[in-house]
């Protein structure tokens, strides 16, 4: 019942609601700053006076509708609303780099339309986000698009995480921004760390690692595909991202957590079960009359099959009788024909000699006897008298020597069978005597008898365990067993039983002539099963059956099979197995270790095959560049923002990472953004309302004079002076 509480059904896709364009009357002719947070997954846009931005998925699709054959240009939720448009969807971003400017233009068109801007030009200053360390040509092309296509009066770029920090540390009443802190920004395609001193981002010390929410989602999807290679339903990236957001979390001590999860019960408690949709097979319920008719029909079919089989047997019997009569008549012709004619007749009938004909006749007679007996009493087995061999007591003669030799072989076979029967009877008597002695011992001292059998069980299990351990050790070339195996192979290669001269001349290899050779072969052949393995398993099963029958303290949990199953209980807890017909269970995904493993990749990207430092190493590298007084100012306000920062455990994990690399007396405080998804846009809106905003933007006149690479450096952007930068 506790396990059922952890089952969560995969939510159905939400029906997208297409937004309605806003009214432009409020902002017409007022040059209200326009805020655009151009994220790689979500586009957030709106005027700085708005309390909340408008948000849409940052995807564009050029799609031709099948019914009308008209080309459509869809953006955001419109792509999700049209199923055929998803395969054609594109985004302006390629990882962390803005490359698809056609898609960016479509996204900006959508944003301006939704804001209600109906003028031929956008007469509003624009504040737009860009990635940390964005390429200069990307900024230049974006500036060209904004000034040439939309004729904006001014354009400024900022780093989203710095403005999120600004919003959460905004002084009241407004004064110059002078806060200190260390900003850790979790983005869709990367994670960046930016130190801020006196309200100014020190970009020369900032670092970025190529791991973000998109990579974590892909990694979780690969883990699920590896864990469930035959999952009946396709798991999409959207569904995996939902699992990441709802079930994954950061571990304060990942290594210690793995030790805890080695207990199957703990792993069961930690798992979360996602139930995918499934369709039960439709079974038609039949009435009693229909079931009775079906049963009667089956009986009738069975009777017909029996009649057909009986008729077929009778036809075969008649055919055999006809063949026997023909062969008997053929044998009677032997006296009428001469030797040459008789030989030709036999060859024409397909017989080599008289013995072959007699053998065929005898076989037919035996078959007919068995068939007739089966028809009468249903028993194929004939109980006959012991065979007689009269020629064995007669002296050897030339005419009957062949038949006498045949009877001697038959008698030897009969005697061998009789000896085997007597040996089997003797073994049965010994077994019965042993059972009587064991029963007397059990009645006399049950505890002693049970103790002896338990010791025997333990001895056999130790032999099996040692055999398995040695087989596993042979796979490790550095183990003692593997080295001993190689030594045995080397000794066999240097075998001097055949001299080197004879080897060169092709002398016969003498390996196998001695029984010890095969013992060595079994020792060096790790794939060969031991000759005692089957006997040990049979003996172990017999001992356990006796203990289960007579020893009340010995239960199924003490058997070898149960103990072996307990060793594999961890694997069963990691991925429970369902019955073949359990369709509901087959469409479940069990997340346990993956819940923490995916998040751990932010601190150890090499777990996912990415050659990069983790967040801990980046933080240590950045803090090492500052003296202790400045380092203390930074770590007193460690600010975490971005969508993945909402995952549980991030604050405690960062605290456990930073505390060991700081002096004990240095205070450490880690805070999370109030709204990691929208604080960047709100911080940009706050800054756009200040007088300083007018100084950081590049005007259209400056663009026309200096080109798209013109940059005004300021504390929230990627650069910090007003000197133009050339490529």
Residue owning tokens 């994954």: 248
Structural domain including 331 reads 300-369
DSSP character for 530? P
Could you tell me which residue, 326 or 285, shows the higher pLDDT? Answer: 326
Region 288-317: what's the mean pLDDT?
86
* Virtual torsion, Cα 632, 193, 600, 611, nearest 10 deg: -120
Instruction: Name the range with the highest mean pLDDT among 115-129, 310-324, 473-487.
Output: 115-129
Residue 146: predicted pLDDT: 93
**Is the model's pLDDT at 3 over the cut of 50?**
no
Does residue 90 sit within a domain?
yes
pTM of the model: 0.67
- Model confidence at 659: pLDDT above 80: yes
Structure-model confidence comparison of residues 26 and 652, the more confident one: 652
CB within 8 A of 11, min separation 6: which ones?
Answer: 242
> pLDDT over 70 for what percent of the chain?
85
Q: Let me know if residue 136 belongs to a domain.
A: yes
Q: Please state whether beta strands 60-64 and 71-75 pair in parallel, antiparallel, or not at all (unpaired).
A: antiparallel
Q: If we measure between CA atoms, which residue out of 687, 690, 679 comes closest to residue 716?
A: 687
Q: Is residue 360 part of a domain?
A: yes
Choice among 137-141, 211-215, 532-536 with the minimum mean pLDDT: 532-536
Distance CA 42, CA 188 (A): 10
Spatial strand order in the sheet of 154-159: 54-57, 42-47, 34-38, 126-130, 154-159, 698-699
Q: Quote the tokens at residue 175.
A: 């004064």
Both structure tokens of 525:
């052949």
Tens digit of each residue's pLDDT (9 = 90 or more) over 367-387: 877 776 665 554 434 445 677
290: pLDDT strictly greater than 80 = yes
Separation CA 594–CA 600 (nearest Å) = 10
The last residue of one of the domains, among 338, 353, 369, is: 369
| Sign of the dihedral defined by the CA atoms of residues 691, 697, 703, 709, in that order | positive
pLDDT average, residue stretch 21-40: 90
Q: CA 531 to CA 723: how far, in whole Å?
A: 85
Amino acid 2: pLDDT: 36
Model pLDDT for residues 54-91, shown as the tens digit of each residue: 999 999 998 887 777 888 888 888 887 777 787 788 88
Q: Which pLDDT value is given to residue 661?
A: 92
Q: Mean of the per-residue pLDDT values for the chain?
A: 83
Cα 273 from Cα 257, distance rounded (Å): 19
CA 713, CA 724: separation in Å to the nearest integer? 9
165: tokens are: 């920090």
Model confidence at 360: pLDDT above 80? yes
**Share of residues in the chain with pLDDT > 90 (%):** 36
Whether the CB-CB separation of 327 and 357 falls below 8 Å is answered with yes
What's residue 573's pLDDT? 84
- The gap between the terminal CA atoms of the chain, to the nearest Å, is 65
Q: Where residue 96 sits, what CATH number does that domain have?
A: 3.30.420.40
- For residue 499, give both structure tokens: 């001299």
- Residues 395-422: tens digit of each pLDDT: 665 556 667 777 777 777 677 778 778 8
Asked whether residue 719 is assigned to any structural domain, the reply reads: yes
4 pLDDT more than 70: no
Specify if 86 maps to a domain: yes
Domain boundary residue, one of 369, 397, 415: 369
41 contact partners, CB below 8 Å, separation of at least 6 = 57, 58, 91, 188, 213, 214
Q: Is residue 618 part of a domain?
A: no
Distance of CA 532 to the CA centre of its chain: 37
89 sits in which H/E element: strand 89-90
Q: Rg of the chain's alpha carbons, rounded to an integer?
A: 44
CA angle at 654 for the pair 648 and 655, rounded to the nearest 5°: 110
Is the confidence at residue 276, as pLDDT, over 70?
yes
- Over residues 195-251, the pLDDT tens digits come to 999 989 899 899 999 999 999 999 999 999 999 998 988 999 999 999 999 999 999
In this structure, are residues 629 and 648 in contact, taking their beta carbons and an 8 Å threshold?
no
Reported confidence tier of residue 721, pLDDT bands at 50, 70, 90: very low
Cβ count near 82 (within 10 Å): 15
Q: What is the pLDDT of residue 1?
A: 35
- Residue 391, pLDDT score: 66
Residue 727 has pLDDT above 50, yes or no: no
CA dihedral 25, 29, 35, 40 (to 10 degrees): 80
Number of domains in the chain: 2
How many H helices and E strands in the chain? 27, 20
Q: If 0-12 CB within 10 Å is exposed, 13-18 middle and 19+ buried, where does residue 231 land?
A: middle
Residue 207 lies in a domain: no
Q: pLDDT at position 379, please?
A: 41
* Residue 573 is assigned to a structural domain of this protein: no
Q: Are strands 126-130 and 34-38 parallel, antiparallel or unpaired?
A: parallel
Q: How far is CA 641 from the centre of its chain?
A: 32
Element housing 503 (H / E): helix 500-504
Tell which of 369, 391, 414 closes a domain. 369
DSSP 381: -
Cα distances from 257 to residues 124, 274, 331, 552, 568, in angstroms, run 53, 22, 90, 39, 20
DSSP string, 22-79: PP-TTTTTT---EEEEE-SSEEEEEETT-SS-EEEES-EEEEE-TTT--EEEEETHHH
Domain co-membership, 304 together with 171: no
SS3 224: helix
Q: Which of 78-82, 121-125, 170-174, 361-365 has the lowest mean pLDDT?
A: 170-174
In this predicted structure, what is the pLDDT of residue 184? 96
Q: What is the DSSP letter of 78?
A: H
Which is nearest to 188 in space by CA: 218, 167, 222, 148? 218
**pLDDT at site 373:** 63
d(CA 586, CA 275): 9
Q: Backbone phi, then psi, for 34, in 5-degree steps?
A: -105, 125
- State the pLDDT at residue 174: 64
């Amino acid at each position: 019942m506790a396990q059922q509480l952890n089952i969560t059904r995969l939510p159905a896709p939400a029906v997208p609601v297409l937004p309605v364009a806003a009214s432009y009357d409020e902002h017409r002719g007022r040059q209200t700053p326009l805020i655009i947070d151009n994220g790689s997954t979500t586009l957030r846009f709106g005027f700085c006076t708005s309390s909340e931005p408008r948000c849409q998925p940052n995807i564009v699709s050029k799609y031709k509708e099948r019914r009308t054959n008209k080309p459509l240009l869809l953006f955001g939720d419109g792509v999700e609303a049209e199923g055929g448009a998803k395969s054609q969807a594109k985004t302006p971003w390629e990882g962390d780099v803005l490359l698809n400017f056609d898609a960016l233009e479509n996204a900006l068109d959508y944003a301006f339309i939704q804001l209600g801007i109906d003028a031929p030009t956008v007469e509003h200053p624009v504040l737009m986000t860009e990635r940390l360390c964005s390429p200069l040509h990307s900024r230049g092309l974006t500036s060209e698009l904004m000034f040439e296509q939309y004729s904006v009066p001014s354009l400024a770029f900022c780093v989203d995480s710095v403005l999120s920090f600004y919003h959460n540390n905004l002084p009241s009443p407004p004064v110059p921004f002078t806060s200190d802190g260390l900003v850790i920004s979790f983005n869709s395609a990367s994670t960046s760390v930016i130190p801020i001193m006196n309200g100014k981002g020190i970009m020369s010390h900032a670092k970025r690692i190529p791991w973000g929410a998109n990579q974590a989602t892909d990694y979780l999807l690969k883990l699920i595909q590896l864990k469930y290679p035959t999952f009946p339903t396709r798991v999409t990236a959207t569904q995996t991202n939902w699992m990441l957001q709802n079930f994954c979390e950061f571990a304060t001590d990942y290594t210690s957590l793995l030790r805890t999860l080695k207990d199957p019960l703990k792993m069961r408690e930690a798992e979360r079960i996602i139930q995918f949709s499934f369709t039960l097979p439709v079974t038609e319920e039949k009435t009693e009359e229909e079931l009775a008719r079906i049963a009667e029909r089956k009986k009738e079919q069975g009777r017909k099959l029996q009649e057909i089989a009986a008729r077929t047997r009778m036809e075969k019997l008649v055919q055999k009788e006809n063949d026997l009569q023909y062969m008997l008549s053929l044998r009677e012709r032997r006296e009428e024909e001469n030797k040459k004619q008789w030989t030709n007749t036999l060859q024409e009938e397909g017989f080599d000699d008289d013995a072959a004909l007699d053998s065929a006749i005898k076989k037919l007679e035996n078959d007919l006897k068995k068939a007739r007996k089966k028809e009468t009493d249903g028993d194929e087995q004939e109980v006959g008298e012991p065979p007689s061999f009269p020629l064995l007591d007669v002296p050897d003669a030339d005419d009957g020597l062949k038949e006498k030799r045949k009877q001697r072989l038959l008698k030897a076979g009969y005697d061998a069978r009789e000896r085997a029967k007597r040996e089997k009877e003797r073994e049965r008597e010994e077994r019965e005597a042993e059972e009587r002695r064991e029963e007397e011992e059990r009645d006399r001292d049950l505890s002693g008898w049970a103790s002896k059998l338990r010791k025997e069980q333990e001895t056999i299990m130790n032999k099996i365990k040692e055999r398995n351990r040695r087989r596993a050790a042979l796979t490790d070339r550095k183990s003692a067993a593997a080295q001993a195996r190689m030594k045995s192979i080397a000794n066999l290669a240097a075998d001097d039983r055949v001299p080197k001269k004879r080897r060169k001349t092709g002398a016969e290899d003498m390996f196998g002539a001695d029984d010890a050779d095969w013992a060595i072969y079994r020792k060096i052949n790790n794939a060969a099963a031991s000759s005692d393995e089957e006997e040990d398993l049979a003996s172990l099963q017999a001992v356990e059956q006796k203990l289960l029958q007579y020893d009340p303290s010995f239960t199924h949990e003490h058997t070898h099979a149960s103990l072996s199953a307990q060793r594999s209980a961890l694997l069963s807890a990691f991925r429970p197995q369902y019955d073949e017909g359990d369709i509901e269970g087959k469409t479940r995904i069990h997340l346990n270790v993956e819940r923490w493993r995916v998040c751990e990749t932010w601190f150890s990207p090499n777990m996912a095959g990415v050659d990069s430092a983790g967040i801990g190493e980046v933080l240590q590298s950045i803090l090492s560049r500052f003296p202790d007084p400045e380092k203390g100012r930074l770590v007193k306000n460690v600010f975490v923002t971005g969508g993945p920062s909402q995952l549980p455990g991030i604050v405690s994990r960062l605290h456990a990472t930073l505390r060991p690399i700081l002096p004990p007396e240095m205070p450490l405080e880690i805070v999370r953004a109030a709204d990691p998804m929208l604080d960047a846009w709100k911080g940009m809106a706050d800054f756009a309302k200040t007088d300083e905003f007018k100084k950081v933007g590049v005007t259209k006149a400056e663009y026309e004079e200096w080109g798209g690479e013109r940059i005004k450096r300021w504390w929230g952007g990627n650069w910090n002076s007003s000197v133009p930068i050339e490529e």
